[in-house]
């Protein structure tokens, strides 16, 4: 039929002209025109044709109901549905789908129960819709009922069930469904294979996921990406990157999801060089300006310490979304780029991108890391007054942090007491962390008590308070805290620093001599120790948290893990190159002072990422401005 041909080829005007010239129009031609108008985005003409129809059948009504649902007019669709003189199962399915898509789950369930007859699409829509709306357990109950009624499963049903099983890690039911896949002959359906692989990966069964993948040779990028993503989800980032390499070797061209997953694994490994390689491949395949790839690039470069590359990746994104802006704002804040964050936030507003709670967290965090107290007050007041629904616990944490760092400990404590949301241990820890810097034992003890009331086994509270006692020379209180920790079975997290060199992570703990290059590392440290003295460096013994002689304290400081990592970087990398050190805990204050001078002595940039931020040391200065 010519009308159908015009409609399928998006020649709606030609279809309308032909329709108007027809001497006799049957119901099929009317329905074709209505559907064509809807597919072409013309709801008004579709409704006009529907109203003019001399005789409508159930297809006419259902097409119009679907049209209103397509345009998000669920109330009109609902009214039209209940006006239908005759409803077939397709009409019921359409309305159920509309309810589920708009989040009106209970109405969908009620309508499903009223259906005079159901088919596999009815059941599948309910399973898929319940899972989509977060009611995963109910979705699986519907599946069990479906099986109980003897309804034959379709491949789409199986995929929906596997997705629901993956979301709630229902391993036993998922394995049973896998058996159904084999029984029904769906094993070689690539869509089903992808669902199975994702299910096993979510359930931390990567061995079974690999078995599914290896059952046949796949040229489909989607299933390759599912395997790659599965490895990343299970923190097997090396394996994920091996899969990405295999894709390239087998000429399976990665898509945006492949690149996103591979870059996420680079972030997990802090593998900057590998991330740059993957970035180059994305550019070669024309995805260098893709927003999803670009967002992952921003995160990868930020995590790996290369904020300049992150800014460049942000600039190269064609059409930025709110995630793009948030990623660069939060990333720049972690690198202490307070002025850049303010500029980016202004551009975001100018570009009419509405900031969300993550945007404001990044903004307040930047103020905190850069000591911009007055700006933080202004932004916090703005969020509180004009964005009351957006103010979250993390915004209070940032505000408490900036007040505490600026020495306004009592004001920070008062803010916590007057919070609109219930404070948790994290907000109290922000206050406690600053008490040592400002030597305020009273606030520290109150903050620690509040934390331990909320989390009796919070090791961070014990360790921070113990360190504050040690800095104040209260060794009996230090001993008391250690006894309490031992009695509670609380173990202090061991400080560890590492450098990734040519894809291999080299880890160090305090006074570590286990590394094969240990002799060279300690020789370099001893040389640096002499140079530091020449530059007037005096160790801050308050950071040697043991009651020992001064000389022993100085030696303990000299061999802290971050200094060992820096020394390793100096003996293994080319002169003039940047050294990037990662640490699992907050950087030691004395090491911070020493590394500033070391960067000047060796004429290098040294980047240290601790548990809270990045420090960029150059020419005897740190990007944090000693405000950390």
- Which pLDDT tens digit goes with each residue over 123-177? 999 999 999 999 999 999 999 999 999 999 999 999 999 999 999 999 999 999 9
Classify residue 424 as exposed, middle or buried by CB count within 10 Å of its CB (0-12, 13-18, 19+): middle
Last residue of a domain, one of 444, 474, 492: 492
Domain boundary among 474, 492, 510: 492
Question: Which pLDDT value is given to residue 208?
Answer: 97
Locate tokens 């013309």: which residue?
A: 42
- The set of residues, in sequence order, having a beta carbon less than 8 Å from that of 16 and lying 6+ positions away, is 33, 45
Question: How confident is the model over 67-106, as pLDDT tens digits?
Answer: 999 999 999 999 999 999 999 999 999 999 999 999 999 9
Specify the pairing of strand 606-609 against strand 614-618: antiparallel
In a domain, 457, yes or no: yes
Same-domain check for residues 466 and 564: no
Strand partners, 498: 507, 582
Taking only the tens place, the pLDDT of each residue in 40-49 is 788 888 888 8
CB contact burial 123-145 (16+ within 10 A = b; e otherwise) = bbbbbbbbbbbebbebbbebbee
Mean pLDDT across 549-571: 75
Confidence of residue 13 (pLDDT cuts 50, 70, 90): low
Same domain flag for 509 and 606:
yes
Q: Is 565 part of a structural domain of the chain?
A: yes
Task: Report the domain count for the chain.
Answer: 2
pLDDT at 217 over 90: no
Whether 143 is covered by a domain: the verdict is no
521 and 441 part of one domain: no
Closest to 189 (Cα-Cα) out of 151, 197, 199: 197
Instruction: With respect to residue 266, please indicate whether it lies within any of the assigned structural domains.
Output: no
Q: How far apart are CA 295 and CA 585, in angstroms?
A: 27
* DSSP 8-state class, residue 35: H
Task: Please say whether the dihedral angle defined by the alpha carbons of residues 276, 282, 284 and 288, taken in this order, is positive or negative.
Answer: negative
Predicted local distance difference test score (pLDDT) of residue 215: 86
Q: Are residues 487 and 513 in the same domain?
A: no
8-state DSSP, 498 = E
Nearest alpha carbon to residue 60 among 33, 89, 20: 33
Do the domain assignments include residue 608?
Answer: yes
- Residue partners of 262: CB distance under 8 A and separation at least 6: 228, 240, 241, 244, 254, 278
Highest mean pLDDT among 29-33, 172-176, 529-533: 172-176
Cα–Cα distance between 507 and 565 in angstroms, integer?
Answer: 7
Q: Is 506 in the same domain as 617?
A: yes
The residue from 470, 492, 514 where one domain ends is 492
Considering only CA atoms, which of 249, 273, 265 is closest in space to residue 299?
Answer: 265
Measured CA to CA, the distance from residue 486 to residue 243 in angstroms comes to: 45
Q: Is 505 left (phi over 0), alpha (psi -120 to 50) or beta?
A: beta
Average pLDDT, the chain: 91
Structure tokens at 579: 């050294």
Percent of the chain with pLDDT over 70: 92
Whether 235 and 198 have beta carbons less than 8 Å apart is answered as no
pTM: 0.86
Cα separation, 257 vs 405, whole angstroms: 40
pLDDT tens track for 452-510: 999 999 999 999 999 899 888 899 999 999 999 999 898 888 889 999 998 899 999 99
Do 570 and 594 have their domain in common?
yes
**pLDDT (tens digit, 9 = 90+) per residue, 564-598?**
999 999 999 999 999 999 999 988 888 999 999 99
- Kindly state the average pLDDT of the residues 602-609: 96
Residue-wise pLDDT tens digits, 266-300: 999 999 999 999 999 999 999 999 999 999 999 99
Residue 278 lies in a domain: no
Banded model confidence at residue 339, pLDDT cuts 50, 70, 90: very high
Cβ proximity of 263 and 255 under 8 Å: no
Radius of gyration of the chain (CA): 31
More confident residue, 387 or 119: 119
127, two tokens = 């399973």
> Average pLDDT of 311-325?
97
Same domain, 558 and 516: yes
From the list 353, 355, 333, 354, the residue with the least C-alpha distance to 342 is 333
Write the CB contacts of 420 (distance below 8 Å, at least 6 apart in sequence): 391
In the three-class reduction of DSSP (H, G, I as helix; E, B as strand; rest coil), residue 607 is classed as strand
- The answer to the question of residue 519 being in a domain is yes
Structural domain harbouring 603: 497-622
C-alpha 589/C-alpha 12 separation (Å) is 71
Pairwise CA distance, residues 417 & 106, whole Å: 40
């Amino acid at each position: 039929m010519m009308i159908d041909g015009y409609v399928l080829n998006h020649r709606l005007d030609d279809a309308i002209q032909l329709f108007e010239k027809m001497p006799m129009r049957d119901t099929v031609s009317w329905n074709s025109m209505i559907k064509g108008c809807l597919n072409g985005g013309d709801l008004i003409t579709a409704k006009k044709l529907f109203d003019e129809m001399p005789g409508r059948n159930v297809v006419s009504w259902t097409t119009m109901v679907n049209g209103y649902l397509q345009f998000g007019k669920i109330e009109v669709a609902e009214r039209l549905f209940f006006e239908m003189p005759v409803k077939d199962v397709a009409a019921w399915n359409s309305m159920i789908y509309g309810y589920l898509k708009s989040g009106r789950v209970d109405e969908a369930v009620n309508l499903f129960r009223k259906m005079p007859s159901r088919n596999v699409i009815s059941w599948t829509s309910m399973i898929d819709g319940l899972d989509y709306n977060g009611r995963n357990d109910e979705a699986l109950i519907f599946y069990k009922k479906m099986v109980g009624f003897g309804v034959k499963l379709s491949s789409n049903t199986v995929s929906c069930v596997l997705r629901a099983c993956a979301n709630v890690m229902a391993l036993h039911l998922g394995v049973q469904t896998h058996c159904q896949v084999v029984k029904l002959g769906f094993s070689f359906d690539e869509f089903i294979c992808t669902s199975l692989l994702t299910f096993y990966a979510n359930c931390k069964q990567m061995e079974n996921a690999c078995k599914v993948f290896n059952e046949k040779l796949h040229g489909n990028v989607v299933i390759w990406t599912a395997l790659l993503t599965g490895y990343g989800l299970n923190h097997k980032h090396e394996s994920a990157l091996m899969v990405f390499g295999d894709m390239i070797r087998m000429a399976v061209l990665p898509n945006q999801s492949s690149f996103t997953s591979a870059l996420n694994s680079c972030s997990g490994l802090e593998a900057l060089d590998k991330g740059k390689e993957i970035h180059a491949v994305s550019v070669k395949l024309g995805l260098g300006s893709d927003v999803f790839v670009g967002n992952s690039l921003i995160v990868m470069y930020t995590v790996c310490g290369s904020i300049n590359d992150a800014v460049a990746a942000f600039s190269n994104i064609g059409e930025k979304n709110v995630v793009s802006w948030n990623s660069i704002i939060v990333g720049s804040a972690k690198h202490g780029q307070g002025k850049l964050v303010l500029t980016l936030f202004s551009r975001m507003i100018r570009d009419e991108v509405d900031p969300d709670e993550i945007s404001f967290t990044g903004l307040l965090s930047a103020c905190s890391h850069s000591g911009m107290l007055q700006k933080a007050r202004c932004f916090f007041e703005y969020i509180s007054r004009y964005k009351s629904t957006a103010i979250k616990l993390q915004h209070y944490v940032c505000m408490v942090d900036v007040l505490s760092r600026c020495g306004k400990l009592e004001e920070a404590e008062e803010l916590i007491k007057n919070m609109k949301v219930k404070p948790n241990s994290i907000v109290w820890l922000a206050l406690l962390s600053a008490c040592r810097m400002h030597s305020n034992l009273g606030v520290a003890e109150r903050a620690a008590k509040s934390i331990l009331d909320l989390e009796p086994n919070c090791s961070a509270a014990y360790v921070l308070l113990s360190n504050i006692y040690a800095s104040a020379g209260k060794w009996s209180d230090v001993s008391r805290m250690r006894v309490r920790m031992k009695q509670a079975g609380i173990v202090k997290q061991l400080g560890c620093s590492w450098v990734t060199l040519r894809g291999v992570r080299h880890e160090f703990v305090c006074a570590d001599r286990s590394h094969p290059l240990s002799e060279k590392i300690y020789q370099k440290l001893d040389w640096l120790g002499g140079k530091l003295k020449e530059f007037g460096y005096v160790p801050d013994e308050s950071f040697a948290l043991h009651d020992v002689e001064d000389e022993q304290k100085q030696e303990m400081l000299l061999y802290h893990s971050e200094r060992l990592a820096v020394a390793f970087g100096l003996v293994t990398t080319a002169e003039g190159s940047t050294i990037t050190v990662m640490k699992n805990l907050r950087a030691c204050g004395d090491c911070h002072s020493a590394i500033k001078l070391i960067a000047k002595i060796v004429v290098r940039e040294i980047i240290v990422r601790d548990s809270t931020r990045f420090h960029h040391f150059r020419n005897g200065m740190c990007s944090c401005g000693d405000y950390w």
